[in-house]
């Protein structure tokens, strides 16, 4: 699961027309990861879409809504499918988004408050993180292999590859260099960036700006790595 809300993380003047952000936090007593996409509307408000992932169960919920440009009042309709139009909502998130923190309450379709939530763009430090990960994942026509070694927050080796059928388009991301970052680890090479962030009992691995390392229809799906080094794909609906 993941969510849609990414307003006011940065001063509005610094925001591009479309933004993507990951946030970590709690829904009720459960830890959760929130992945957000936002586009600016002509009236200055933000159109939001995305999803959140409840980490103990890996349950996903999709969201769609708006946030005001000045005070960050945010309302997100929640559903079990990425296409919310024409489907009954499973809930609604209502809250405020200020200073990198999105907090409020989750409501049932009938309007009853179910639980409080709070998400932040500040992730835990991974300066002490050590792991040696090698895993292979296949789902449908998509295959991904990931191998990396990190010793006390320092990158030793990184290799991430994927192949997408039916076209057989591949991605190859390797020989990355570590970049300074707070709240996670960041590796870069050839304009491609890979970020590792601690989310509950998992490490969230995601790539951005890696089109030059991929074929025209190749892509690198985000994934979760558990404490035993096992990986799980989180593929977007429709792929």
Span 135-161, mean pLDDT?
95
Task: Pick the closest to residue 210 from 154, 179, 170, 150 (CA basis).
Answer: 170
Q: For residue range 155-183, what is the model confidence (pLDDT) as tens digits?
A: 999 999 999 998 899 999 999 999 999 89
Residues in the chain, total = 239
Architecture of domain 2-120 in this structure? Beta Barrel (2.40)
Here the tokens at position 19 are 């933004």
C-alpha count within 13 angstroms, C-beta hemisphere, residue 46? 32
Q: Would you call 80 helix, strand, or coil by DSSP? A: coil
Q: Using alpha carbons, list the distances in angstroms from residue 130 to 11, 126, 133, 151, 195.
A: 34, 9, 10, 4, 15
> What mean pLDDT is predicted for residues 18-38?
89
Q: Report the predicted TM-score, pTM, of the whole model to 2 decimal places.
A: 0.81
pLDDT tens readout for residues 214-233: 988 889 999 999 989 999 99
Question: CA separation (Å) from 19 to 6, 9, 46, 66, 141?
Answer: 7, 10, 10, 14, 29
């Amino acid at each position: 699961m993941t969510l849609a809300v990414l307003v006011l993380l940065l001063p509005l003047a610094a925001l591009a027309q479309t933004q993507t952000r990951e946030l970590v936090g709690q829904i009720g007593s459960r830890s959760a990861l929130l992945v957000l996409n936002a586009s600016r509307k002509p009236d200055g408000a933000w159109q939001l879409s995305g999803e959140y992932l409840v980490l103990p169960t890996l349950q996903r919920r999709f969201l769609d809504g708006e946030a005001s440009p000045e005070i960050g009042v945010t309302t997100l309709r929640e559903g079990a499918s990425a296409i919310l139009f024409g489907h009954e909502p499973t809930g609604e998130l209502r809250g405020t988004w200020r200073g990198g923190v999105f907090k409020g309450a989750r409501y049932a379709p009938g309007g009853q408050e179910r639980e409080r939530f709070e998400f932040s763009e500040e992730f835990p430090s991974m300066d002490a993180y050590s792991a040696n990960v090698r895993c292979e994942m296949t789902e449908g026509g998509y295959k991904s292999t990931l191998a990396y070694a990190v010793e006390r927050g320092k990158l030793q080796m990184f290799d991430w590859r994927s192949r997408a059928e039916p076209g057989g388009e591949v991605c190859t991301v390797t020989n990355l260099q570590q970049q300074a970052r707070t709240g996670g680890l960041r590796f870069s090479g050839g304009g491609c960036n890979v970020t590792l962030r601690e989310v509950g009992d998992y490490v969230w691995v995601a790539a951005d700006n890696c089109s030059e390392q991929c074929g025209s229809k190749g892509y690198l799906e985000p994934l979760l790595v558990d404490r035993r080094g096992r990986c799980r794909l989180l593929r977007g609906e429709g792929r």
